[in-house]
Amino acid sequence: MNKIAEIFTSLDYGPAPESADVALAWLAAHDNTFGHFINGAWTKPGKTFASENPANGKVLAQVTDGTAADVDAAVKAARAAFPKWSALSGYQRGKYLYAIARLIQKHSRLFAVLETMDNGKPIRESRDVDIPLVARHFYHHAGWAQHLEREFPDHVPYGVCGQIIPWNFPLLMLAWKIAPALAAGNTVVLKPAEFTSLTALLFAEICDKAHLPKGVVNIVTGEGDTGAAITGHPDIDKIAFTGSTEVGKIIRRATAGTGKGISLELGGKSPYIVFDDADIDSAIEGLVDAIWFNQGQVCCAGSRLLVQESIEERFLEKLKKRMSTLRVGDPLDKAVDIGALVAPVQVERVRDLVKKGVAEGGQLYEPDIDVPGGGCFLKPTLITNVSTANTVANEEIFGPVLVEMSFRTPEEAVALANNTRYGLAATIWTENVNLALDIAPKLKAGVVWINSTNNFDAAVGFGGYKESGFGREGGREGMAFYLKAKWEKELKPFVAAAAKSGKSANPLDDAGGIDQTAKMYIAGKQARPDSGYSRPVHGPSGALVGEVGDGNRKDIRNAVEAARAALGWATTSAHNRAQILYFLAENLEYRADEFAARLRAQTGEDGAAEVAASVERLFAFAGWADKYDGAVHNPPQRMVATAMVEALGAMAILAPPSRPLLGSIALIAPALAMGNTVVLVPSERSPLSMTDFYQVLETSDVPSGVLNIVTGESKVLAKTLAEHDGIDAIWFAGDAETSAMVEKASAGNVKQTWTSRGLYYDLSDKAKFEGDYFLRRATQVKNVWIPYGA
């Protein structure tokens, strides 16, 4: 029987190999050995390591392991190139980005084949998904380059950006980072993953062909020490990292106190929620894409399948049948569904986690399909009978392994979906649009796909919540993370006024009559400090003005619990939040003379102007509450992506020592306007204005727990708050040493931070602080992809 007859009999796929000849020829032209690309030229190869084809174990090339000296040379080249590059008009930078996009398209097949050989992903994915998206990012950001001055007035590039990318999408992650950085006017030192450096080196040649000025893009290859040299380099202004949460935390700690900009796109354990009214066949096809795309080596992979109990048995039966039709094999075969994992070490890690999941009670299913020998191949895997405590339900496996659980009600689905330290992405399948749009805002994830999965576009921001990191890549919000306010580069150190000597600091010597120690304000009630101690507050002459409670760890615990219990504040309509802030302003103005007198007693200055400024600031953010909203993106798919601006959650705010009233109001007003709840530590030196303020809160309809006030030593309370896993973001206005401590301690749950680092921020400046500056830092963007159009 001839081959055609056999095919019609078996209805099996025949091989459809993609030629590797062009990629092999390109490697041979470099003698299969590469140095770095620094200052527009190739360096002489140093100590090298092998880059292997994970499908067959063959060595593709030798790649140089970058040293600290190599990184330093690249940073110097980027620094030297920065003045001229940033001085170009946006139109001129955009032309370079356009040229890069066109050259990527011209050499798209070479990029696709090289990517598949180096990474192991099927050629269909690199050819039809990755490389077109790479070109799309450079096209899209060519436009941003020209429109930055209009859309981001008074903003400037950071300078030199250090960028570290992972091995799962080597060229796409490069495009996600380099395109916006260059559009903004930054220069770049990029380190690709050690397993997959080759397409980044090919991209370096594209930069040369596009006549990109020397030093604008520098590619330094290497292992972990090379990345550490980048994050620790003192002349790098911003770090952008995509990779594991564990490494992201290390980078957050390493950059603490340096003033570097930082964006982290980290791990995920994304839920894939299927309701009983879903189109099951479509949901299963989406699931194949969600978990077995790129062998499951995707940070936003739908690795946790949540199926409504009423359809669980039928869904799993169909899923297993579909798994049996998946083809595992040579990634260069265009008929293959699942290629090779990136390296043997990754295969072993996945196997170990699967064994652990089974040992903890999970039931393993693998289809009876052929898997090639001699490469890093694994079968698609399903683990059922899993509880929320099982390791495989919590740890990011980063392989072709799906974990399944069932739910009964939508409420239970949301609880299971959010029961993770991650918050990168989520998928919802249902034919009920009301249900889908009810569930989407309840999911703690930066991206939500409805009746679809793994949609990406340069116009739509991508990034996570919680321990999936902070920052966005793509779209307007992605551009914002490569720019900073121009005035921030001109800040001067804060110089505190010298304390004047006066009466004894012993309150027993000064206090008389009835004790009027100001209490704390927690959960809508005045609360005595757990410590049982108070702190004296002295005026400029040293005379005792009053006393406040000395807060400790237990007071912080109580305040954080109250703030988290009040998180429903974010679901209160923006109109209602605005009304309450207006009411706060009104009631504060009624008592302006009283607050001015208190300010005068604490600072010796006329407090009338500060009270007036505080009232105006509350009015300003009341006005923003229902106006600082999102957008609807129009990606080149049959979808729309709604960019929803959401609150961060429970925030800790430690006010500056100066301006006892305005210093706190200027920070809490934008946080509250955007729906966050707050634990406030007021000025350590002059806290009485904010302990008076809780009387205004009590008469202004502010729900209990929305604003909690704990007095005490800022440095001590800042550490407790920064380490607290119940706090989602922390702002600290104070000295450089404590700022560094706050940033370092915040790495525990990857909090978003803002610190003043000992610099003087004039919070009375309306032009700077009555708008986007703090609003953007008080929010995060969730992109919800919704099917739209024919």
Catalytic residues: 265, 299
Angle between helices 90-106 and 198-209 (to 10 degrees): 120
Question: What six digits make up the tokens of 635?
Answer: 């990606």
By the 10 Å C-beta count (0-12 exposed, 13-18 middle, 19+ buried), 256 is classed as buried
CB distance 557 to 591 below 8 Å: no
CB count in 10 Å sphere of residue 554: 12
- Quick one: three-class SS letters along 541-583? CCCEEEEEECCCHHHHHHHHHHHHHCHHHHHCCHHHHHHHHHH
Could you identify the residue written with the tokens 């330093």?
72
CB within 8 Å of 696: residues ≥ 6 apart: 584, 587, 588, 591
C-alpha to C-alpha distance for 611 and 586, rounded to whole angstroms: 12
Straight-line distance from the first to the last Cα atom of the chain, in angstroms, rounded to the nearest whole number: 45
CB distance 738 to 715 below 8 Å: yes
Among candidates 21, 57, 62, 60, which has minimal Cα distance to 45?
62
Rounded to a whole number of angstroms, the CA Rg of the chain reads 28
CB distance 237 to 261 below 8 Å: yes
Distances (CA, A) of 393 to 269, 289, 302: 8, 19, 12
Angle between helices 736-745 and 245-255 (to 10 degrees): 170
- Tell which phi-psi region holds residue 201, choosing left (phi > 0), alpha (psi between -120 and 50) or beta: alpha
Q: Nearest 5 degrees, angle CA 512-CA 517-CA 523?
A: 165
Distances (CA, A) of 751 to 183, 242, 461: 28, 16, 19
Question: What six digits make up the tokens of 666?
Answer: 């200027």
Q: Helix or strand or coil: residue 470?
A: strand
- Quick one: three-class SS letters along 487-506? HHHHCCECCCCCCCCCCCCC
CB distance 524 to 515 below 8 Å: no
CB count in 10 Å sphere of residue 476: 18
C-alpha to C-alpha distance for 241 and 190, rounded to whole angstroms: 10
Distances (CA, A) of 462 to 141, 190, 288, 454, 479: 15, 20, 21, 11, 12
C-alpha to C-alpha distance for 382 and 258, rounded to whole angstroms: 45
3-state helix, strand, coil in the chain (%, to 5): 45, 20, 35
Among candidates 642, 647, 680, 629, which has minimal Cα distance to 570?
647
The strand pairing partners of 781, in sequence order, are 645
